[in-house]
Amino acid sequence: MYEKDKGMNDWKIESLGNLKNMKFIEDSPLIYTLSTSGVLCLYDTLKQKHIWKKELPDNEEFSLRYLGRNLLVYSQKRAMMINSRGHIIYDL
């Protein structure tokens, strides 16, 4: 998705809802997705199924940043580091 197309071609993966953010894992069929309803997921694009998913608090606007081996999920009030197995390493 290109920045100029943002909002025009919304992605939807069945059972995850409308996606507002995705982070691709380099050299891998896996992507982290964040839906508009606050569902965070690690999704396998080859098998077309999720590996794990978590529901984030719906009262915060979260963003994603992939940091090599872990995912940083953050808002203005909170930051969580999550590994590829879906375990929260820390939650501030």
Q: What pLDDT score was predicted for residue 55?
A: 92
Strand partners, 82: 71, 88
In this prediction, residues 31-55 reach a mean pLDDT of 91
The encoded tokens of residue 38 equal: 């606050």
In this prediction, residues 23-34 reach a mean pLDDT of 91
In this prediction, residues 66-73 reach a mean pLDDT of 92
Long-range contact set of residues 76-84: C-beta below 8 Å, sequence gap at least 24: 82/40, 82/54, 84/25, 84/30, 84/42
Q: Which residue has the higher pLDDT, 14 or 21?
A: 21
Q: What pLDDT score was predicted for residue 37?
A: 86
* Other residues' Cβ atoms within 10 Å of the Cβ of residue 10: 12
pTM of the full structure: 0.78
Q: What pLDDT score was predicted for residue 45?
A: 86
Alpha-carbon distance of 78 to 24, in angstroms, equals 23
